[in-house]
């Protein structure tokens, strides 16, 4: 009889990226693997690579620091980042802002997430040696001190990293695939409201005080942004939204359909999802607006022509 795997978590495939793949990304890979093994956590595939990865040995202080923290297998081989890696791994974790920018510019991959973004929701870098120790070529004491602090920083934040990965990358996939151990952050159960072959709808725990719902509609397969969702899946999503929206409209004055694309647009969970907010006249829900730009008719036409050209070239 075929075994039912519908309630098994999706394998977490994580790639760390730094410059040389001999310090930050290497340490992150080694420490995450060590933590997973030490806590008998299965279902993860972890790797690391460098944007340059020019052949050079791992600094002995990196190895010593990792060894002090219990990492025993220190036989490391450098790997240079390539497109195949970006395609293979679900989550690419950049150790610095420079790495994320390089990955986007060089490979057109816009979904690299910063290490610090996952562990403390901060858009900042885990610095390299030369970034912090300006006289690194002659100040060995400062270099060793910096390496030790950085490796320990990564080590100390591995539990937060795992929590961040689970909550911001794989949570919705687990919900949609019925992984029974996954619940909302407050422990409430995930209750399926509606489902199609490619979509799943459930109630968010963030419910406005004067309303009785806030529904999320997601593709079962993880896509980060709206424009990445295949047309057939998007059609199912819109039909699901229509069906639920009709129910909300019948019982309320109306409803909003919202989607946040990208971190600057307040996307917190890296799995595309639509928000359906039921609305009533006195619900006191405020959707932030913006200050209108003052412009001439000529500027308005120029804005239109510029965008029209970009849209049409993209479509072709």
Residues taking part in catalysis: 273
Instruction: Give the angle subtended at the CA of 194 by the CAs of 190 and 196, to the nearest 5°.
Output: 115
66 HSE (CA, 13 A, CB side): 26
**Cβ(79)–Cβ(53) under 8 Å?**
yes
Query: 3-class SS at 186?
Result: coil
Helix (H, G, I), strand (E, B) or coil at 82: coil
Kindly calculate the radius of gyration of the chain based on its CA atoms and give it in whole angstroms.
Answer: 23
Residue 172: partners with Cβ closer than 8 Å, 6 or more residues away: 216, 218, 222, 269, 271, 273
The string of DSSP letters for 249-272 reads HHHSSEEEEE---SGGGT--SSS-
DSSP state, residue 198 = S
Beta bridge partners of 275: 216, 258
DSSP letters spanning 235-248: HHHHHHHHHHHHHH
């Amino acid at each position: 009889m075929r075994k039912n795997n519908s309630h098994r978590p999706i394998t977490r495939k994580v790639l760390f990226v730094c410059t040389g793949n001999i310090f930050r990304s290497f340490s992150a890979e080694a420490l995450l693997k060590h933590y997973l093994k030490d806590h008998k956590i299965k279902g993860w595939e972890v790797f690391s690579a460098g944007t340059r990865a020019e052949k050079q040995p791992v600094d002995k202080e990196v190895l010593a620091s990792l060894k002090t923290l219990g990492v025993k297998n220190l036989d490391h081989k450098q790997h240079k980042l390539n497109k195949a890696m970006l395609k293979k791994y679900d989550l690419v974790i950049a150790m610095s802002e420079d790495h994320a920018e390089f990955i986007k510019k060089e490979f057109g991959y816009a979904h690299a997430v910063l290490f610090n973004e996952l562990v403390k929701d901060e858009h900042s870098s885990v610095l390299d040696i030369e970034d912090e120790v300006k006289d690194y070529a002659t100040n060995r004491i400062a270099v060793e001190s910096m390496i030790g602090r950085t490796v320990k920083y990564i080590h100390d934040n591995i539990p937060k990293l795992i929590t961040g990965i689970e909550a911001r990358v794989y949570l919705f996939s687990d919900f949609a695939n019925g992984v029974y151990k996954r619940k909302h952050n407050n422990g409430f159960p995930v209750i399926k409201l509606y489902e199609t072959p490619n979509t799943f709808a459930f109630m968010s725990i963030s419910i406005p005080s004067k309303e009785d719902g806030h529904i999320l509609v997601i593709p079962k397969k993880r896509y980060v942004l709206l424009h990445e969702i295949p047309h057939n899946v998007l059609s199912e999503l819109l039909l699901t939204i229509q069906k639920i929206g009709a129910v909300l409209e019948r019982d309320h004055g109306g409803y909003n359909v919202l989607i946040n694309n990208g971190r600057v647009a307040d996307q917190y969970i890296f799995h595309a999802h639509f928000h359906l907010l039921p609305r009533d006249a006195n619900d006191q829900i405020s959707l932030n607006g913006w200050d209108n730009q003052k412009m001439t008719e000529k500027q308005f036409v120029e804005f239109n022509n510029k965008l029209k050209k970009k849209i049409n070239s993209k479509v072709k």
